[in-house]
């Protein structure tokens, strides 16, 4: 069996999409014998190093020229609006089963950004093309409920993350207590109200606390540099990967993402697997974290975030909550579990 994953960008800013697309590829190959490919535009300016060790990389130069594929191939398009949907629809016409994965791009907040472009395109092309897909994958429960308003067959397969190999105990006596924002610098992530709330709070310039911001710039850094003024216990680290990211997660205590809208942020799962307590919004599309009393809820509003940050700084019992977060994320969102869900869906699509 082959799985062709299609993405429209292969760069750091789009890491969340293409990383989610191929995260389970090693497990699918080892456990089920499935070969994964990653198709991307040939003119992509950046190809991350070592990605070819995880999947077969196939650059596409034209929407009308594709490699020949075995009969037992599943097409999985990731995201909306561009090449993935177009290629998915063309390969569906050739008889290949097609899974359409919007990754939250059809959620209400996202649709209202540049609505004058998205809504016409959605009704003129995207909707009609994606309705041909055999199945639509939602990555969160709220997204599934929203997609069922448009599509007949929607399944829920969340994103997952590899469980940390090395066991460790988080040091809650370590000072300063560290709040971590890890994600691309984009307005939808709620990064601007977060910084303004920190600046207005009692935590600002208090040596007992620090706010670390890590992630690639998506057009917001110049504005954020102005917002950083007057904050001595905030550091911007740029994009972090590999061991640097692991060390950052180990030393941090809270994961802050007051997002306006997400599909399902793998970063929250990864942080919880390292024992960080999530401070997240409903826009993160992770109601299970609230239902299990594992997350602290905020809204992307300066005053609300400020009050929440100050309340957190005085709450006891965080070490126990940290352990619960770690156990929940490792048990329910490992890539092994997600790969099994994918495999069952792929078998159904191939009628095996």
The band of 168, judged by pLDDT with boundaries at 50, 70 and 90, is confident
Q: What is the CATH number of the domain that holds 119?
A: 3.40.50.2000
Tell me how many domains the chain contains. Answer: 2
Answer yes or no: do 24 and 115 share one domain: yes
Answer yes or no: do 214 and 122 share one domain: no
Confirm whether 168 is domain-assigned: no
Q: Using CB atoms within 10 A of its CB, is residue 317 exposed (0-12), middle (13-18) or buried (19+)?
A: exposed
CA distances from 347 to 93, 232, 351 (A): 20, 54, 6
Answer yes or no: do 192 and 146 share one domain: no
d(CA 184, CA 171): 27
The band of 252, judged by pLDDT with boundaries at 50, 70 and 90, is very high
Average pLDDT value for residue range 232-252: 94
Express each pLDDT in 260-280 by its tens digit: 999 999 999 999 999 999 999
Three-state SS string across the chain, please? CEEEEECCCCCCCCHHHHHHHHCCHHHHHHHHCCEEEEEEECCCCCCCCCHHHCCEEEEECECCECCCCCCCEEEEEECCCCHHHHHHHHHHHCCCCEEEECCCCCCHHHHHCCHHHHHHHHHHHHHHHHCCCCEEEECCHHHHHHHCCCCCCEEECCCCECCCCCCCCCCCCCCCEEEEEECCECHHHCHHHHHHHHHHCCCCCCCCEEEEEECCECCCHHHHHHHCCCCCCEEEEECCCHHHHHHHHHHCCEEEECCCCCCCCHHHHHHHHCCCEEEECHHHCCHHHHHCCCCEECCCCHHHHHHHHHHHCCCCCHHHHHHHHHHHHHHHCEHHHHHHHHHHHHHHHHCC
Answer yes or no: do 156 and 292 share one domain: no
pLDDT at 101: 98
Average pLDDT over all residues of the chain: 93
Answer yes or no: do 76 and 145 share one domain: yes
Answer yes or no: do 297 and 344 share one domain: no
The band of 198, judged by pLDDT with boundaries at 50, 70 and 90, is very high
pLDDT at 176: 94
Closest CA to 291 of 142, 106, 160: 142
Residue 352 has pLDDT above 70, yes or no: no
Express each pLDDT in 203-222 by its tens digit: 999 999 999 999 999 999 99
Confirm whether 41 is domain-assigned: yes
Confirm whether 152 is domain-assigned: yes
Answer yes or no: do 125 and 257 share one domain: no
Express each pLDDT in 124-163 by its tens digit: 999 999 999 999 999 999 999 999 999 999 999 999 999 9
- Distance of alpha carbon 56 from the chain centroid: 22
Q: What are phi and psi of 277, to 5 degrees?
A: -90, 120
Confirm whether 169 is domain-assigned: no
d(CA 15, CA 103): 13
Asked if 20 contacts 333 with a C-beta cutoff of 8 angstroms, the reply is no
pLDDT at 45: 64
pLDDT at 313: 80
Asked if 289 contacts 273 with a C-beta cutoff of 8 angstroms, the reply is no
Confirm whether 100 is domain-assigned: yes
Express each pLDDT in 68-107 by its tens digit: 899 899 999 999 988 999 999 999 999 999 999 999 999 9
Supply the range of the domain harboring residue 62: 2-160+334-350
pLDDT at 190: 96
pLDDT at 256: 98
Identify whether 281 is preceded by a cis peptide bond (ω within 30 of 0): no
Answer yes or no: do 274 and 187 share one domain: yes
Confirm whether 171 is domain-assigned: no
Phi/psi zone of residue 203: left (φ > 0), alpha (ψ -120 to 50 degrees), beta?
alpha
pLDDT at 10: 87
pLDDT at 92: 95
Answer yes or no: do 201 and 312 share one domain: yes
Answer yes or no: do 139 and 237 share one domain: no
Asked if 297 contacts 290 with a C-beta cutoff of 8 angstroms, the reply is yes
Residue 53 has pLDDT above 90, yes or no: no
Confirm whether 108 is domain-assigned: yes
pLDDT at 14: 86
Answer yes or no: do 82 and 126 share one domain: yes
Cβ neighbour number for residue 59 with a 10 Å cutoff: 13
Give, rounded to a whole angstrom, the gap between the first and last alpha carbons of the chain: 11
Express each pLDDT in 291-330 by its tens digit: 999 999 999 999 999 999 999 987 778 999 999 999 999 9
Answer yes or no: do 183 and 143 share one domain: no
Q: Using CB atoms within 10 A of its CB, is residue 290 exposed (0-12), middle (13-18) or buried (19+)?
A: middle
């Amino acid at each position: 069996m082959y799985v062709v994953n299609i993405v429209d960008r292969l760069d750091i800013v789009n890491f969340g999409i293409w990383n989610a697309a191929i995260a389970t590829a090693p497990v699918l190959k080892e456990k089920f014998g499935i070969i994964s490919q990653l198709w991307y535009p040939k003119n992509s300016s950046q190809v991350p190093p070592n990605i070819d060790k995880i999947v077969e990389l196939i650059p596409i130069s034209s929407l009308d020229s594709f490699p020949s594929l075995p009969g037992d191939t599943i097409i999985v398009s990731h995201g909306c609006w561009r090449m993935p949907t177009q290629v998915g629809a063309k390969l569906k016409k050739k008889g290949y089963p097609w899974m359409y994965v919007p990754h939250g791009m059809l959620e209400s907040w996202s649709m209202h950004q540049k609505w004058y472009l998205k809504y016409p395109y959605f009704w003129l092309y995207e909707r009609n093309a994606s309705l041909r897909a055999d199945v639509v994958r939602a990555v969160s429960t709220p997204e599934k409920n929203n997609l069922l308003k448009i599509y007949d067959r929607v399944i829920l397969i969340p994103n997952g993350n590899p469980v940390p190999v090395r066991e460790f105990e988080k040091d809650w006596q370590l000072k300063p207590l560290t709040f971590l924002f890890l994600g691309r610098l984009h307005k939808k992530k709620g990064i601007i109200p977060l910084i303004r709330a920190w600046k207005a709070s009692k935590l600002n310039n208090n040596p007992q606390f620090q706010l670390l911001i890590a992630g690639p710039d998506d057009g917001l850094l110049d504005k954020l540099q102005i917002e950083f003024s007057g904050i001595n216990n905030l550091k911007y680290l740029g994009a972090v990967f590999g061991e640097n990211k692991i060390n950052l997660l180990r030393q941090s205590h809270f994961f802050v993402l007051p997002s306006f809208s997400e599909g399902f942020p793998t970063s929250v799962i990864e942080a919880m697997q390292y024992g960080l307590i999530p401070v997240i919004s409903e826009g993160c599309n992770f109601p299970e974290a609230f239902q299990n009393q594992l997350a602290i809820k905020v809204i992307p509003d300066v005053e609300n975030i400020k009050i929440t940050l100050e309340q957190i700084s005085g709450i006891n019992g965080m070490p126990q909550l940290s352990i619960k977060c770690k156990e929940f994320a490792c048990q329910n969102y490992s890539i092994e579990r997600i790969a099994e869900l994918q495999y069952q869906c792929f078998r159904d699509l191939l009628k095996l």
